[in-house]
Structure 1
Amino acid sequence: MPSTPQRRRIARRLTAAAAVLAAAVGVTATALPAGASSDPARHPGRTVDVQLLSFNDFHGNLQPPQGSSGTVEEIQPDGSKKTVEAGGVEYLAQSLRTARKGHPYSVTAAAGDMVGASPLLSGLFHDEPTIEAMNKLGLDVTSVGNHEFDEGRKELTRLQNGGCHPKDGCYEDGRKFRGADFPYLTANVTDDRTGKPLLKPYSVWQRNGVKIGFIGVTLEGTPDIVNAEGIKGLKFHDEVETINKYARELDKQGVKSIVALIHEGGLPASTSYNYNCDSPGPGWGSPRSSGAETGGGISGPITEIAKNVTSRVDALVTGHTHQAYACTIPDPSGTPRTVTSAASYGKLYTDTTLTYDRRTKDIVRTSVHAPRGVNHVVNRTQPKAADMTSLIAHWNKLAAPVANRPVGRISADIAGRGANAPESPLGDVIADAQLETTKPDGKGGAQLALMNPGGIRSDLAFKASGEEGDGVVTYGEAFTVQPFTNMMNVVDLTGAQLITGLQQQVSGPNAASPKILQVSEGLTYTLDMTKTGADRVVKDSIRLNGAAIDPAKTYRVAMNEFLAGGGDGFPVFKDGGNKYVGPSDLDAFTGYLAAHSSADSPLNPPKADRITVVK
């Protein structure tokens, strides 16, 4: 209906009344800089504060993640550290809605991996439940991540545009999946044939004359960490070059305020979410809060990206490493610029204030007024968002016949994703399961098994969030640990190739951030972290069932198809010969749990003593 002077007057009165009501119930708006209006919709001043709420790597975790996957570490005022349970979309939605109160200019963005490697509640339905949840909680825009390509380009396009799954169809009669209300941005992912981005390269958020452009990219190395079938016909380009290209394009269109959503990240010097990674000194700023650890900054790929992305970009929202940080890193001109990441699984969200100048149409970025991001815990002590509770209940009802089937028993928590050591107890269980499944003659004849750590997505919690009872492992919980359902492969590798594979854990693409393979029973070796690169693997220590690995001998090695294809920076495994294809890794895992546990004799956590670490 067209606007009229009378309608606008009514709207202004309603806005004013809402402001009075908010004040009465104790809702306080963020203070605005000099020249700005407390009600910018009515009296726009020179500047206005735009609230940027962001998160990353949600991975379909609609329900609170179990075990250590669902906790964050918090530094207390006295310097001690506290573990806080966090996450779950009921609490994430509530946190974001609470944060938006009093902020007439608020935009919510994400940095990829909203789906993929998801627990069964979302994964069983090809992540349609997660897209519905993101629509409801008000996500405005996101970049893609590598996991958005787990099921291929056509499935990503379906998640964006809607429609029933091509094989499984619609999950309810008369109910068609409508797709994402928000744009997925793929600026650096192009079609081989056309050379054009797979989906939109950027999006412009607008409100009352305020315009902010968002450019979305995933890591250039995506082909190295996803199955080749999922990215067939696509090219992944340099993050910095792509962002700079589209920043120029937005600038020419008059969009001067720009945020880059980058599915690539860094490694902070502390595991605490409220750690201050801004070291005192030139270009880094100063500590922001008393009682917090200071110094150290972050390392990893995002640091070089941040230093080289054009100054036209005002803030970087990042992800992929599942770490928490809120830093300032100087842009190419030396001006401070915020770089943030909100861990993973919806355990945190970042609140960044962008001061928008209406005259220049740009974000104010000076040493005094640089945008600052702060991470907040999505705690589970707050009320749940009722619409998310209903959404979870709806999909849980559909999933229940599959999800609630018991597959085993455990005597205590078995740490996997959250384990601090290179070797995890759950990693040992999974490797043993893969070896046992593929060891018999005629089923691969495997002598050892290797498991990539990134494929272990959660712990097994003794007391899980469901109602099945303590110690019972359901199919849904097992699926959460192993959601990819990769097929098991057994290949011939020489001893020399096996040694090279172990060295590739800590060299080449994995030198800066090692990916330590989980190994089956009987394989032992020493990892000397005081050394560098491939030398960290002590070759003379590598033994199978007590015997030294013979470089000239051939061994039958079991691993999932992703690892056998050279994924995660292990190109030597692609050279394996005499391939045998077995059951899925999930079937191997659930079969092992069933065979090795019962109500009277639950599975105990293994000692995780196969890899000796020298620090």
Structure 2
Amino acid sequence: MNRRQWAGRRPKVAVAVIIATVLTILFVPNAVAGAAGTVPFSGNDAATGTRTVTIADITDFHGHIERGADNAAAFTLADSHNPGNMVPVSSGDLVGGSPYESAVAKDQPTLDMAKSWGLTISAVGNHEFDRSVADFNNRIASPANGIDWLCANVSARNKAPGGKLSRVKDYTIREVNGKRIGFVGALTDALGSVATPQITKDADLDERAVDAVNRVAHELKQSGKVDAVVALIHADASAAQGLGKDVDVVYTGHTHAVKYARTDGGAPIYEAGSFGRAMAVQDLVITGYGRRSRVAVQNVDLGNGTEQASSTVPGVIRVEGLDAHTTQSAWMSAGSTGEGMVDHAQHVYAVAQAHAAQVGGTIVGTLAAGTNFDKRIENGQEDSVGRLVADANRAMIQRTLYAGERLPVVGFSNDGSLRTAKLDMDGNGKVSVREVDSLMALQFKAAHETLTGKDLKNVLAEQFRFKDGQLKRRWIGISSNVSYRFVEYQSTEAGEETQDKAGSHPANTSFDGDDNHRAVDITDLFIDGKPIADDDLVIVASNSYLLQGGDDYHAFRAGTNYGELNMPYSEPLKQYLAAHPALAPVKLPQTGMRA
């Protein structure tokens, strides 16, 4: 990216501020090399042909445009550190699972904000496909948004003209400060566990992420096309450790963590958290060209009050609140105009916020005085909002498809599909369209299928896992017309011990570290107060992602007669709230079948 591309995006700074910035560069360390300590900013060396290029990476932004000005401030600081020679990048999930302000406009505000940052390079994340692979390729990856989307492990057939991901590339090259930087992207190998089967099929990943990046990086380096290679992988930092010596620095994502590691080839790996709260900023100090180039990676301290996002991870900087930081505010305000990145980001958010308030203010339901529906707290009880959504799913399918049917109907909801901590976010007893859509911000459909009683027990059993010798439960929302018991078995060489506990999970087995054979089985399954035999048929209502095996609830895949309603998965809850004024959480028996 050349300096001209940044013209008008960085605030104009008064002479006094320029002097202050120079003094900061002289007296404040600007770069930290890995964990080795402080290294001054290298700049350029004409004698050796050394040039410095700065990379600033965010990941898993997920449309959090309320923090867009913070990120704009950080990108501006990164550019001022090495004027005209900074490249902003994303490691994926720039959009999808977004707050209402962005989601209600199909994340176009986020794409507009990214353009104001000058962000033109991103790995493809799994949430980019939330509205389908076709929507990503046709709308999100439109040239009008100005981003090169990278995913080397998508099949060549799919990336070819006419393919479902024809706008995706293996790599892109930027010439910056006289050096050619190759950016290579890839998507997690575990796409099948975080996306529906249809999305996984349409994406058509035919190569491991690390193998695809190694292949492309080797081609770029050995051909002399680039002087440095930056890998952007939407996967956990550990997934990048198999990268070889052709990759100089790696940025990862997906797990929303702040991490640091190294590849087998010796390159540093950074994972910069999520939601626009952190940014990884590194200098690539490049000497020579092509196959003979040498690249040193140095961490950058942006100064102006910034600090590490984690005390154990140098090179990843906390940027949350940066725009409002006292030191930063004074620095940014001197000469800042409407042309600046920060001002533009603030404007994009203000417009999106006004639109969200206009379309999201309609009240769809009311709650009983003093009550709310919360996600589960570690108190041994199921989350009331998950159960509410499950009841709403059950009511919708029962009313629209199976009215008069004698088969029992059960509702489910998965924790990952519920994105806010509670239903009534402002606690005023009224539930708005915005609050429901914020809770259920993903792009799933209301769906249904048929399970046998045995299949249903297997679903319930999948709530449980053995870890470190103990039974752990991951909660799922289950409609209030269901009760059951689970039995934990422990077998040892000395004999067998059986424990009976309230709860349930599909009958699965696992081993703990002491070679004890443990299993969980579901017993005494009742629906609407009636016992369910293994060969009985049950209608199941939920969202399209969960019923296709999402969140590792594979037992749902045994279902038959799968179908989707022509409505988002939030619609059953809206209609349920409208039909049940002054709602309060259902109180399950403290003794009985369900914990």
Question: TM (normalized to structure 1)?
Answer: 0.70
Higher alpha-carbon deviation: 406-415 or 18-27: 18-27
Counterpart of 2:58 in structure 1 is 55
Q: 2:321 aligns with which of 362, 365, 379?
A: 379
Question: How many Å apart are 1:47 and its aligned residue?
Answer: 5.3
Separation (CA, whole Å) in 1 of partners of 2:258 and 2:40:
31
Separation (CA, whole Å) in 2 of partners of 1:214 and 1:419:
43
1:364 equivalent in alignment to 2:296: yes
1:209 equivalent in alignment to 2:178: yes
Question: How many Å apart are 1:243 and its aligned residue?
Answer: 0.9
1:258 equivalent in alignment to 2:229: yes
Counterpart of 1:167 in structure 2 is none
Task: Tell me if structure 2 keeps the 8 A contact 1:32–1:49.
Answer: no
Question: How many Å apart are 1:397 and its aligned residue?
Answer: 4.0
Counterpart of 1:447 in structure 2 is 409
Counterpart of 2:490 in structure 1 is none
Counterpart of 2:482 in structure 1 is 523
1:117-132 pair list within 5 angstroms = 117-132=97-112
Sort the Cα spacing of 1:37 and 1:585 in 2 relative to 1 into closer, same or farther, 3 A: closer
> Match of 1:552, SS?
coil
> Match of 1:101, SS?
helix
Separation (CA, whole Å) in 1 of partners of 2:185 and 2:241:
17
Unaligned runs of 5+ in 1: 4-13, 64-87, 163-177, 266-301
Separation (CA, whole Å) in 1 of partners of 2:552 and 2:112:
34
Task: Tell me if structure 2 keeps the 8 A contact 1:30–1:103.
Answer: no
Q: 2:150 aligns with which of 167, 170, 185?
A: 185
1:66-105 pair list within 5 angstroms = 88-104=67-83, 105=85
Higher strand share: 2
Counterpart of 1:350 in structure 2 is 279
Counterpart of 1:139 in structure 2 is 119
> Match of 1:439, SS?
helix
Counterpart of 1:562 in structure 2 is 545
Separation (CA, whole Å) in 2 of partners of 1:417 and 1:319:
26
Task: Tell me if structure 1 keeps the 8 A contact 2:50–2:287.
Answer: yes
Identity within the alignment, %: 23
Counterpart of 1:429 in structure 2 is 388
Q: What is the CA deviation profile of residues 561-594 of structure 1, one whole-angstrom value per residue up to 9, with x for unaligned ones?
A: 2323333434442332345654542111112233
Sort the Cα spacing of 1:426 and 1:374 in 2 relative to 1 into closer, same or farther, 3 A: same
Separation (CA, whole Å) in 2 of partners of 1:227 and 1:36:
47
Separation (CA, whole Å) in 1 of partners of 2:247 and 2:351:
41
Question: How many Å apart are 1:426 and its aligned residue?
Answer: 2.3
Question: How many Å apart are 1:554 and its aligned residue?
Answer: 1.7
Sort the Cα spacing of 1:204 and 1:372 in 2 relative to 1 into closer, same or farther, 3 A: farther
1:317-328 pair list within 5 angstroms = 317-322=251-256, 324-328=257-261
> Match of 1:179, SS?
helix
Separation (CA, whole Å) in 2 of partners of 1:519 and 1:579:
19
Counterpart of 2:348 in structure 1 is 391
Sort the Cα spacing of 1:427 and 1:48 in 2 relative to 1 into closer, same or farther, 3 A: farther
Separation (CA, whole Å) in 1 of partners of 2:593 and 2:249:
41
Question: How many Å apart are 1:332 and its aligned residue?
Answer: 2.5
Counterpart of 1:172 in structure 2 is none
Task: Tell me if structure 2 keeps the 8 A contact 1:131–1:159.
Answer: no
Question: TM (normalized to structure 2)?
Answer: 0.72
Aligned CA RMSD, in angstroms, stands at: 4.3
Sort the Cα spacing of 1:136 and 1:211 in 2 relative to 1 into closer, same or farther, 3 A: same
Amino acid at match of 1:458: T
Sort the Cα spacing of 1:93 and 1:235 in 2 relative to 1 into closer, same or farther, 3 A: same
Separation (CA, whole Å) in 2 of partners of 1:492 and 1:247:
48
Separation (CA, whole Å) in 1 of partners of 2:380 and 2:117:
36
Q: What is the CA deviation profile of residues 184-231 of structure 1, one whole-angstrom value per residue up to 9, with x for unaligned ones?
A: 112111364676873111122332123332211112332453345546
> Match of 1:326, SS?
strand
Sort the Cα spacing of 1:365 and 1:487 in 2 relative to 1 into closer, same or farther, 3 A: closer
Task: Tell me if structure 1 keeps the 8 A contact 2:375–2:386.
Answer: yes
> Match of 1:189, SS?
coil
Counterpart of 2:301 in structure 1 is none
Separation (CA, whole Å) in 2 of partners of 1:463 and 1:101:
39
Counterpart of 2:491 in structure 1 is none
Amino acid at match of 1:492: T
1:589 equivalent in alignment to 2:573: yes
Separation (CA, whole Å) in 1 of partners of 2:227 and 2:504:
50
1:150 equivalent in alignment to 2:130: yes
Sort the Cα spacing of 1:357 and 1:149 in 2 relative to 1 into closer, same or farther, 3 A: same
Q: 2:241 aligns with which of 303, 307, 325?
A: 307
> Match of 2:396, SS?
helix
Q: 1:457 aligns with which of 408, 419, 424?
A: 419
Task: Tell me if structure 2 keeps the 8 A contact 1:437–1:588.
Answer: yes
Task: Tell me if structure 1 keeps the 8 A contact 2:413–2:477.
Answer: yes
Separation (CA, whole Å) in 1 of partners of 2:242 and 2:441:
36
Separation (CA, whole Å) in 1 of partners of 2:380 and 2:114:
34
Sort the Cα spacing of 1:590 and 1:507 in 2 relative to 1 into closer, same or farther, 3 A: same
Question: How many Å apart are 1:471 and its aligned residue?
Answer: 4.3
Task: Tell me if structure 1 keeps the 8 A contact 2:453–2:537.
Answer: yes
